[in-house]
Chain A
Amino acid sequence: MFAERSGRSEQSAAFPRFHAAMSRHSFSLCHAGAVALLGALTLGGCGKSTGSPRPESALLVAAYDPARTLVLEANKRFLSDELAAGRTVTVRESFGGSGKQARAVVDGLGADVVLLGLADDVNALADAKLVKPDWAKAREGKGAPYTSTIVFVVRAGNPKNVRDWSDLARSDVALVAPNPKSSSAAKLSYLAAWGWALRQPNGSEIAAESLVRAMYGKAVVLDATARGASTTFLQNGIGDVLVTWENEAYLARDERARAPIEIVTPSASIVAEPAVAIVDANVDHHGTRALAERYVALLETNEMQEAAARAHFRPRNAEVLAAHQREFAAVPLFTVEETFGSWSAAKAKHFADGGLLDRILEARR
């Protein structure tokens, strides 16, 4: 046995490259292990990393990707405001998909403040007892400093004449959408289509179901994320219509003079309410509650609402919104709550395992 072991070390001395080691016969276990490890690391998250209490002066903000520019601007302002008040603080930020960020905080990312794409992702933090269960009621405006909605992006000139949700069901319209299973934008798009159908003359659950069935039953690409769907539609030229966040659509229009696109706002859509929350368990642990509250208050200021408008979000503040009214298409917006009762009810009916979405996708066979 011992001789054999030293034989192997000779081999790696002769071929000091990792792949020499790979050509041994006993690869199956080690590579099965490598696969396993990757999976396990993904699922296990990075473990608890809350660590020891940080000083009052350090704040960690975990936000969802589309809020990146906004959060970076808020942090800059926050630092200078605090400095002006004679306090030296540091702010760190973390960005990722909304669901991914919520999971990271549940798994131990010690964020003091979260800014997530869906209120439901903050509910997940409440379920994990990190945020007070009544977090939404505790703050005016449901904790979101701005809102957004779901719109369509079409090719220049709108060659397929896409005007409203019902057009997405047409067989000649190739739809690119993120998958509602994995993307929060996609969940809202689905619910927006449903809510629109309910609101039509003679609208009914049956009509709503046939609309989403037509949309998701024939979508040509179901990307994992909203950004992925944008790439598919804009860079790779797939599809006639992309259903996405309003702010993403405006950003895409700003950036793409080369391959022009048009934004189509449907006759009614859903209000997307990103959510801000203080992570109670973490601020109590870090002793940063006062700091976190000042940060959240900053997001409500007119200056930050202006910044939100510049990033194509609809400011919550009526005054600021009025000033930017012309930039946003006037569209009747309905909420998840008034249409579906609550997020959890909508999820249970539509997106849970074996829910309506699963049944629609099963039928693609």
Chain B
Amino acid sequence: MNVTPDASLASTAFAPPAPPARMKHLPTGTLAAAFAWTVIAVFVVVPLAALAFRASEASAASVRSLLTAPRVLAAFRITFLTSIGAAFVDLLLAFPIAWSLGRYDFPGRRLVDALVDMPLALPTSVAGLTLAALSSETGPLGRFLASSGIRVAYTPLGISLALAFVGLPFVVRAIEPVVRVLDESALEAARSLGASEATVAWRVVLPQLVPAAITGFAVALARSLGEYGSVVFIAGNLPFKTEVVSLFIVARLEDHEPVAAAVLAIALLTASCVLLAAVAGLERRATARFVPAERL
């Protein structure tokens, strides 16, 4: 089966005791499946159906004019570009963090381990306000950058900064478990055959991390596409420059136009699903290519 390396290794390295014989006859699989379906139905399918139902009240003409407006299209472009940019930044930042957390015991390791998850706990609007204050032209970071001509707050760069902040834990936590269970024998084998450390890193370590990294990338991306709280305060919301789709959706709601909001939400969702499906396909191919068959 198509399971990522950490899963397969986990099951070999930490094999749990075999279940008591009679457990095998209990219909736990069916029960678990029924439970999974119920929960997913209540939490995902029903709200989504309600959303789609709301959106379906819109006439075809109004949907077309809403979704083809240049400003809305620009907002979609800005949303996707800043989200993808942020996810790539997260990838770059997450590799060294995940590597050090997964491989080494260094002073303050547990603190770093705990702090990595902070962006998940912080209310996103607080994060947005803080990052805006930090990176605006009067802020400590922004003043420094402004002297070299770089503006962050109230530009697409600021949006990406906020998105990278909220997305970082997802990428770190996707890669870290795989770093923990790297195939040491492959590393040793490569070294004993005379591979340099760079070659080991590039040809042996990196391929093992690629599927997990893509997963982390996708989760951070998914999180970013619908992000509102952290973005509105740092974006400045200028049409064609820094206006994201989630802002449009909230503006429609505030204006007592839930149908238009639902149409935009469904459009964002559809576009996100297409993008995420593409990333999922990429990850499957990476797993097939980089993870040896015996570890699947």
The proximity string for B residues 12-45 relative to A, scoring 1 for CB distances below 8 Å and 0 otherwise, is 0111100100000000010010000000100110
The residue on A at minimum CB distance from B225 is: A35
Complex CA gap A123/B254 in Å reads 13
Contacts A23-B178, A221-B154; A39 near B222 (Cβ below 8 A): no
Assess the A237–B47 pair: CB atoms within 8 A. no
The residue on B at minimum CB distance from A40 is: B47
Residues of A within 8 A of B276 (CB): 28, 31-32
**Segment touching B, from A95-103, A206-214, A290-298, A303-311:** A95-103
A343-365 CB contacts (< 8 Å) to partner B: 351, 353-354, 358, 361-362, 364-365
The residue on A at minimum CB distance from B218 is: A27
Q: Name 22 A/B residue pairs within 8 A (Cβ), A-sorted.
A: A6-B19, A11-B7, A14-B11, A14-B13, A17-B177, A22-B174, A28-B276, A28-B280, A37-B43, A39-B51, A39-B268, A40-B51, A43-B253, A43-B261, A106-B256, A223-B236, A224-B247, A236-B132, A236-B136, A236-B153, A362-B70, A365-B239
Residues of B within 8 A of A182 (CB): 247, 250-251, 254-255
Top 7 A-B pairs ranked by shortest CB distance? A19-B173, A40-B47, A237-B138, A28-B280, A236-B136, A99-B254, A14-B14
B119-156 CB contacts (< 8 Å) to partner A: 129, 132-133, 136-139, 153-154
Complex CA gap A232/B232 in Å reads 11
Contacts A28-B276, A103-B253; A362 near B268 (Cβ below 8 A): no
The residue on B at minimum CB distance from A123 is: B256
A231 part of interface (Cβ distance < 8 Å): yes
Assess the B69–A35 pair: CB atoms within 8 A. no
Residues of B within 8 A of A7 (CB): 1, 3, 7, 11
Q: Which of A7, A20, A351 has the most CB of B within 10 A?
A: A20
Assess the A11–B256 pair: CB atoms within 8 A. no
A-B contact count (CB 8 A): 234
Residues of A within 8 A of B174 (CB): 19, 22-23
A275 part of interface (Cβ distance < 8 Å): no
Given contacts A22-B170, A127-B256, 15 further A-B contacts (CB under 8 A): A20-B6, A25-B215, A25-B283, A25-B284, A27-B218, A27-B283, A32-B269, A35-B226, A38-B226, A39-B51, A43-B54, A100-B253, A237-B136, A358-B71, A364-B240
Q: Report A's interface with B, CB cutoff 8 A.
A: 1-2, 4-8, 10-11, 13-15, 17-20, 22-28, 31-44, 97, 99-100, 102-103, 106, 124, 127, 179, 181-183, 219-224, 228, 231-232, 235-238, 351, 353-354, 358, 361-362, 364-365
B31-82 CB contacts (< 8 Å) to partner A: 32, 40, 43-44, 47-48, 50-51, 54, 65-66, 69-71, 74
The proximity string for B residues 207-243 relative to A, scoring 1 for CB distances below 8 Å and 0 otherwise, is 0000110011011001101100000110011111100
The residue on B at minimum CB distance from A354 is: B65
The residue on A at minimum CB distance from B180 is: A15
B160 part of interface (Cβ distance < 8 Å): no
B176 part of interface (Cβ distance < 8 Å): yes
CB distance from A86 to the nearest CB of B (A): 42
Residues of B within 8 A of A238 (CB): 136-137, 153-154
Residues of B within 8 A of A364 (CB): 238-241
CB distance from A301 to the nearest CB of B (A): 32
B2 part of interface (Cβ distance < 8 Å): yes
Assess the B280–A223 pair: CB atoms within 8 A. no
Complex CA gap A224/B238 in Å reads 10
B interface bracket (residues with beta carbon within 8 Å of A): 35 or more
The residue on B at minimum CB distance from A360 is: B239
Residues of B within 8 A of A8 (CB): 7
The residue on A at minimum CB distance from B29 is: A2
Residues of A within 8 A of B273 (CB): 28, 32
Complex CA gap A44/B237 in Å reads 24
CB distance from A176 to the nearest CB of B (A): 9
Assess the A19–B51 pair: CB atoms within 8 A. no
CB distance from B103 to the nearest CB of A (A): 16
Residues of A within 8 A of B225 (CB): 35
The residue on A at minimum CB distance from B272 is: A35
Assess the B177–A223 pair: CB atoms within 8 A. no
The residue on A at minimum CB distance from B142 is: A236
Q: Which of B13, B44, B47, B249 has the most CB of A within 10 A?
A: B47
Assess the B177–A15 pair: CB atoms within 8 A. yes
Residues of A within 8 A of B65 (CB): 353-354
